[in-house]
Chain A
Amino acid sequence: MHSTLSLSQATTVPRSNYAFDSHSPSFALSKPINLRFCGLRREAFGFSNLTQSCSSRVRISSRGHSKKIVASAGNNGTPLKSFNYDLIIIGAGVGGHGAALHAVEKGLKTAIIEGDVVGGTCVNRGCVPSKALLAVSGRMRELQSEHHMKALGLQVSVAGYDRQGVADHANNLASKIRSNLTNSMKALGVDILTGVGTILGPQKVKYGKVGFPDSIVTAKDIIIATGSVPFVPKGIEVDGKTVITSDHALKLEFVPDWIAIVGSGYIGLEFSDVYTALGSEVTFIEALDQLMPGFDPEIGKLAQRVLINPRKIDYHTGVFATKITPARDRKPVIIELTDAKTKEPKDTLEVDAALIATGRAPFTNGLGLENINVVTQRGFVPVDERMRVIDANGNLVPHLYCIGDANGKMMLAHAASAQGISVVEQVTGRDHVLNHLSIPAACFTHPEISMVGLTEPQAREKGEKEGFEVGIAKTSFKANTKALAENEGEGLAKLIYRPDNGEILGVHIFGLHAADLIHEASNAIALGTRIQDIKFAVHAHPTLSEVLDELFKSAKVKAPASSSPVSEPVAV
């Protein structure tokens, strides 16, 4: 098998060579990774236009590297001439998928190993099916709001739903996206290897299904993208029926009259939106002193006023759910609450169901990290700012990267994908460090919450430390024509910035379609666009995006606009 694979490798030489050429300017600066890359294909360089000095460097390093490869391949007796793949990704979630697509674009021969279903948590048990449920809850909310309907001049008799129909919608969406993802990778020539991937040593991975012989593959670079699973604290017994995690809740097998949601972060908040729209009453249990920790306090407060207080929701804050017993023997679900500070028993709740939304734990067991001397931290794979894996001694493990939930930097699907793309950029010769402060996040409640960058307290702390002033600008959805036309004027956009140079530090939006609106701000942060420049960009009227237009315009920046953002004025 190895020989056939390396044959096919040979056919990719022109492609790899092209990739190499395109980055030749950075070659001199690049890390040994690229040198070895060249060394293995010395023949190919015969017709490449490398300079003499460059190729001499190649030769030197190639010697060292080929030695290493022989050593590592020595286990199975036959010395390897080349790798099976340029890049192997362990885990076909959104992170792995994003990395694979970009790797193909960069001309890398890529394989992706998946032990479960393609799509990972996001597509199968996370963001995707939950959006289907939230689409239903949004409509139910509108139809149930007599006041809202009346204001629009609409009359609707009782709104009802069919639970199975809703559940099917979520399930169908997941399978559709899953097949889209699979097809997109297959079409591009990414090999999908089925089985659980384990790292055997540097640049070597084994994979295989349970009960079948394992296969061993090698790759120049390996990305770990194994993601995460729902985190269930000790003392909580999940039975999958009355005490559930998001995995079960997304199947919507039953809609309880009263459900306790442990944790009031994104997941808990989104599910409270779904359950209350479908007629359940909700009790939040939050270990911290206030609901929605992690959100900008002002946004959190407004969100609580709109998403919690008027709904059939109550909450217990500053308490741990130390013991949860599923419903059995004709008894309800029993939740024991313990004070988070004094650790004393505080209360007992009796509810119909409990959803554990206390966050997610990395899924890194069985990855074979011990084979390369990497010790996880609370399960997370330690990485540096370039997603390079750090071993127990604090050294970088060469050719090994970890992206997404498994490294715990920012547990968001699109963050994983962005990290994967950043890694591919690095292994193809362009140094790249992802700016995590430019990655937006969204919570798809009704209305939605979105954010990018720092919260106000974070920005103030940073400002104090680095000695700059922090400015705050706010605009209301009540002033936006489109929002008013939709009769959805509830909402706030908040800009945190530096008045001295116009840098955007953070943007937080709570309101209609906030999740779609945030990208103007996140792109500006990613590209380093300053407020004094972006305020001249034109927005179509009337649109919700004018909320951000207003926001940028209301900021008081002392710095003047850059001289000419557009090179050639175009007359019409």
Chain B
Amino acid sequence: MASPFLSNTTISFSSSLSSSSLPRLVPSISSSPIRFKSTPRRILTVRSKIREIFMPALSSTMTEGKIVSWIKSEGDVLSKGESVVVVESDKADMDVETFYDGILAAIVVGEGETAPVGAAIGILAETEDEVAEAKAKAASKTGAATPSAPPATPSPAPAPPKPTPAPAAAPVAEGPRKTVATPYAKKLAKQHKVDIESVVGTGPFGRITPEDIEAAAGISPSKTNVGPAVVAEAKPAAPLKATAAAAAPSSLPPPVPGSTVVPFTTMQAAVSKNMVESLSVPTFRVGYPVTTDALDALYEKVKPKGVTMTALLAKATAMALVQHPVVNASCKDGKSFTYNSNINIAVAVAINGGLITPVLQDADKLDLYLLSQKWKELVEKARSKQLQPQEYSTGTFTLSNLGMFGVDRFDAILPPGQGAIMAVGASKPTVVADADGFFSVKNKMLVNVTADHRIIYGADLAAFLRTFSKIVENPESLTL
């Protein structure tokens, strides 16, 4: 805690003065002064002392302070605990009081001037006799120790040697030109004590951006989710540049020149997060061909009544799940099975640039027509972005169908919180040989289930798929 107050340049005059007995200035808020316990290691008996009054650190982020006003003037007698000076930090104006009795011999940093934290702002003499000496000291200080505008940052960029960011995107600088840094870049440079002159700007027109400073300071741009707004703009209407500069971490290869960075929308960010999370689950996949002639025939029959293929598949899946509850279960903690009492089929839907999974709740209990109706409502709500959380987050099993695009088979990623997901391909006419050697052409559809192997084993999935296949091949039960 003492570091800002401790000065290496101890006052040369009194050699007996220990550095720990340097005057401490304590910030006090309003009338209730908070005093830090000064812990003098050893109190030395010193006859005469000239003490420097330092710019205190009034907040954790304070790097410099401005003298608002000196409450005391030169020659005033100070007693311990009295307010001496008002300092303006980045947060507030605070009265600063002295811990020592004495005489304010000289003011080094005047009102309205700025000094870095730890710099001497005034000289305190203990007795009248030392005032003159203190004044001389102050005179030597002035000029040397009054950096009124920017604080002296003698340490040029204590940044770990990082690969200089983005040489590829180096600007086309014509001849020597002055450094241009954005307001926030300057703020960051000050905060992280980065010498701005040593930074190579990668922004437009070679300007130094906040990202450049963060890279130079060796900090990850973690603050970016607070700071720059996400410009989710469809058409690049901006006359200068299309999108906000991307806050790309410097460790990534620099973007190909001319590339456009479009930040995720909220939905895309959620998808991204879920997909990464899925990597922590040990999954495996089991595929199964299903003959769909009977299902297709049924579909043709019920289609006029508003039944969709999605509803048929969801219903068939739900009915199969009734018989195989473990496939409808999930593993929340890696230690147990969580059996779900409801069978809620989530169905993945692509919605303008995003992906959402509206949930058909209790798909096993609702009849096909209700289910179809429900599904239509959900899709409509999803399109108008009016889905309530329970309408897309309560799935116990997910269905993903790319058959309508002609995809014959694919492999789905297991969404977090669920035990299994089924990827459905297109139903295609296929030549089939039966046990008696007769060839026939049947519509076959490949389904592929991805499951969490912590709870669902190969045999479970195989059994579930066999049941599912039977239901699809004899779909009459679906309409019951």
Q: Chain A: residues with CB nearer than 8 A to chain B?
A: 140, 144-146, 157-164, 241-242, 253-258, 277-279, 281-283, 301, 305, 309-310, 312-314, 327, 331-332, 348-350, 352-353
* B207 CB-CB contact with A under 8 Å: yes
Bound form: Cα–Cα A352–B227 in Å: 19
Known: A301-B88, A314-B183. 17 other contacts (CB 8 A): A140-B229, A144-B227, A146-B225, A157-B266, A159-B229, A160-B231, A277-B229, A278-B231, A279-B229, A279-B244, A281-B182, A310-B90, A312-B210, A348-B178, A352-B204, A352-B241, A353-B240
Contacts of B93 in A (CB 8 A): 301
How many chain B residues touch A (CB < 8 A): the figure is 40
Task: Tell me which residues across on chain A come within 8 A of B435, comparing CB atoms.
Answer: none
Q: Which of A159, A255, A258 has the most CB of B within 10 A?
A: A258
Residues of B within 8 A of A349 (CB): 180
Q: Given known contacts A254-B240, A305-B91, is B184 in contact with A158 (CB within 8 Å)?
A: no
Closest to B267 in A: A157
Q: Return A67 CB to nearest CB of chain B, in Å.
A: 63
19 A-B pairs within 8 Å (CB atoms) are namely: A146-B226, A158-B225, A160-B229, A160-B232, A160-B263, A161-B230, A163-B231, A253-B237, A254-B238, A255-B231, A255-B238, A257-B240, A279-B227, A279-B228, A279-B244, A281-B184, A301-B88, A312-B183, A349-B180
Q: How far is the CB of B211 from chain A (nearest CB, A)?
A: 12
Please state if A257 and B245 are interface contacts (CB–CB under 8 Å): yes
Q: Is B264 engaged at the interface, CB distance under 8 Å to the other chain?
A: yes
Q: Which residue of B is nearest A145, CB measured?
A: B226
Residues from chain A with a CB closer than 8 A to the CB of B180 are: 349-350
Interfacial chain B residues near A159, Cβ < 8 Å = 229-230
The complex places the Cα of A352 from the Cα of B237 at a distance, in Å, of 14
B183: nearest residue on chain A (CB-CB)?
A: A314
9 A-B pairs with least C-beta separation: A279-B229, A160-B230, A314-B183, A312-B184, A254-B238, A160-B232, A279-B228, A281-B183, A281-B182
User: How far does the alpha carbon of A130 sit from the alpha carbon of B239 in the complex, in Å?
Assistant: 22
Task: Kindly state whether residue B269 has any CB partner on chain A within 8 Å.
Answer: yes
Which of B91, B226, B231 has a CB less than 8 Å from the CB of A161? B231
Bound complex: CA A145 to CA B90 (Å): 18
B229–A241 touching, CB < 8 Å: no
Q: 8 Å CB contacts to A: which residues of B134-177?
A: none
Q: How far is the CA of A71 from the CA of B358 in the complex (A)?
A: 82
Contact status B269-A158, CB under 8 Å: yes
B300 at the interface (CB under 8 A from A): no
B197 at the interface (CB under 8 A from A): no
Answer yes or no: B186 CB below 8 A from chain A CBs: yes
Candidates A164, A241, A281, A313; contact of B239 at CB < 8 Å: A241
B204-243: CB near A (< 8 Å → 1, else 0) gives 1101001000000000000001111111111001111100
A166 to chain B, nearest CB (A): 10
Contact B269 A305 (CB under 8 A): no
Bound-state CA distance A161–B341 (Å) is 40
| Residue contact A157 to B226, C-beta cutoff 8 Å | no
The docked-state distance in angstroms from the alpha carbon of A92 to that of B245 is 43
The minimal Cβ–Cβ distance linking A364 to chain B, given in whole angstroms, is: 34
Residue of B183, B232, B233, B266 with most chain A CB atoms under a 10 A cut-off: B183
B270 nearest in chain A by CB position: A157
Task: Say yes or no: A144 contacts B226, CB within 8 Å.
Answer: yes
Q: Which residues of chain B have C-beta atoms less than 8 A from A254's C-beta?
A: 237-240
Within the complex, what minimum Cβ distance (angstroms) separates A493 from chain B? 17
B265-A257 in contact (CB<8A)? no
Residue contact A312 to B187, C-beta cutoff 8 Å: yes
| Distance between B341 CB and nearest chain A CB, rounded to angstroms | 28
Within 8 A of A (CB), among B433-462: none
Closest to A327 in B: B240
B92 contacts the other chain (CB 8 A): yes
Check B205 against A332 for contact (C-beta < 8 Å): yes
Q: Are A313 and B183 in contact (CB under 8 A)?
A: yes
A128, B64: Cα distance in complex, Å: 40
**For the complex, what is the distance from the CA of A331 to the CA of B207, rounded to whole Å?**
12
Q: B183 contacts A257, CB within 8 Å?
A: no
Known: A242-B240, A350-B180. A163 touches B90 (CB 8 A): no
Chain B residues whose CB sits within 8 angstroms of the CB of A310 once the complex forms: 90
Proximity bits, B240-279, A CB within 8 Å = 1, else 0: 1100110000000000000000011110011000000000
Among A140, A145, A146, A257, which residue has its beta carbon within 8 angstroms of that of B241? A257
Contact pick for A164, options B205, B210, B233, CB 8 Å: B233
Beta-carbon contacts of B181-201 to A below 8 Å, as 1s and 0s? 011101100000000000000
CA gap between A159 and B228 in the complex, in Å: 10
Q: Are B264 and A314 in contact (CB under 8 A)?
A: no
Q: What are the residues of chain B within 8 A of A242 when measuring CB–CB?
A: 239-240
CA distance A277 to B229 in the complex (A): 7
Contacts of B245 in A (CB 8 A): 257
Q: Give Cα A82–Cα B265 distance, bound, in whole angstroms.
A: 67
A44 to chain B, nearest CB (A): 62
B326 shortest CB reach to chain A, Å: 33
A241 to chain B, nearest CB (A): 5
A374 CB to closest chain B CB (Å) equals 43
Evaluate contact between B186 and A163: CB separation under 8 angstroms: no
Kindly state the separation between the CA atoms of A161 and B92 in the bound complex, as whole angstroms. Answer: 33
Measured between C-beta atoms, what is the minimum distance from A165 to chain B in Å?
Answer: 9
B187: chain A residues at CB < 8 Å are 312, 314
Chain B residues with CB under 8 A of A162: 232-234
Bound Cα distance A146, B266 (Å): 15
Asked if A158 and B205 make an inter-chain contact with CB atoms under 8 angstroms apart, the answer reads no
Give the interface centre of B182, B187, B245 by most chain A CB atoms within 10 Å.
Answer: B182
Q: How far is the CA of A254 from the CA of B204 in the complex (A)?
A: 16
Asked whether A158 lies within 8 Å of B241 as measured between CB atoms, the reply is no
Query: Whole-angstrom distance from the CB of A186 to the nearest CB of chain B?
Result: 37
A255 to B240, CA, bound (A): 10
CA distance in complex: A157, B264 (Å):
11
* Minimal beta-carbon separation of B86 from chain A (angstroms): 12
The docked-state distance in angstroms from the alpha carbon of A164 to that of B232 is 10
| B230 with A158: CB separation less than 8 A | yes
The reply to whether A283 and B233 form a contact with Cβ atoms under 8 Å apart is no
CA distance A314 to B185 in the complex (A): 10
Give every chain A residue within 8 A of B269 (Cβ-Cβ). Answer: 157-158
Taking CB as reference atom, which chain A residue is nearest B203?
Answer: A257
A319 → chain B closest CB, angstroms: 15
Of B203, B225, B233, which one neighbours A163 at CB under 8 angstroms? B233
Choose among B183, B210, B241 the residue that contacts A282 (Cβ–Cβ < 8 A).
Answer: B183
- Chain B residues with Cβ below 8 Å from A157 are 266, 269-270
Contact: A158 with B263, CB < 8 Å? yes
Give the chain A neighbours of B203 by CB distance below 8 A: 257
Docked complex Cα distance between A161 and B234 (Å): 11
The 8 Å CB contact of A257, one of B91, B182, B227, is B182
CB-nearest residue of chain B to A315: B183
Q: How far is the CA of A72 from the CA of B227 in the complex (A)?
A: 66
Q: Which residues of B lie under 8 Å from residue A278 when comparing CB positions? A: 229, 231
Chain B residues with Cβ below 8 Å from A331 are: 205
Q: Are B266 and A160 in touch, CB under 8 angstroms?
A: yes
A160: chain B residues at CB < 8 Å are: 229-232, 263, 265-266
**Residue numbers in B under 8 Å from A353 (CB-CB):** 240
What are the interface flags for B2-34 relative to A under an 8 Å C-beta threshold, 1 for contact and 0 otherwise?
Answer: 000000000000000000000000000000000
CA distance A327 to B238 in the complex (A): 13
* A283, B207: Cα distance in complex, Å: 14
Contacts of A352 in B (CB 8 A): 204, 240-241
Report the minimum CB–CB distance from A369 to chain B (whole Å): 40
Distance between Cα atoms of A257 and B205 in the complex (Å): 12
- With CB as the reference atom, state the residue of chain B lying closest to A313: B183
Which residues of chain A are within 8 angstroms of B92 by Cβ–Cβ distance?
A: 305
Complex: A67 Cα to B227 Cα, angstroms? 72
- A310→B91 CA distance, assembly (Å): 9
Residue of A nearest to B224 (CB): A158
Expressed in whole angstroms, the minimum distance between the Cβ of B297 and any Cβ of chain A is 46
A1 to B237, alpha carbons, bound, how many Å? Answer: 51
A275 to chain B, nearest CB (A): 10
| Contact status B183-A332, CB under 8 Å | no
Pair A312/B227 contact, Cβ less than 8 Å = yes
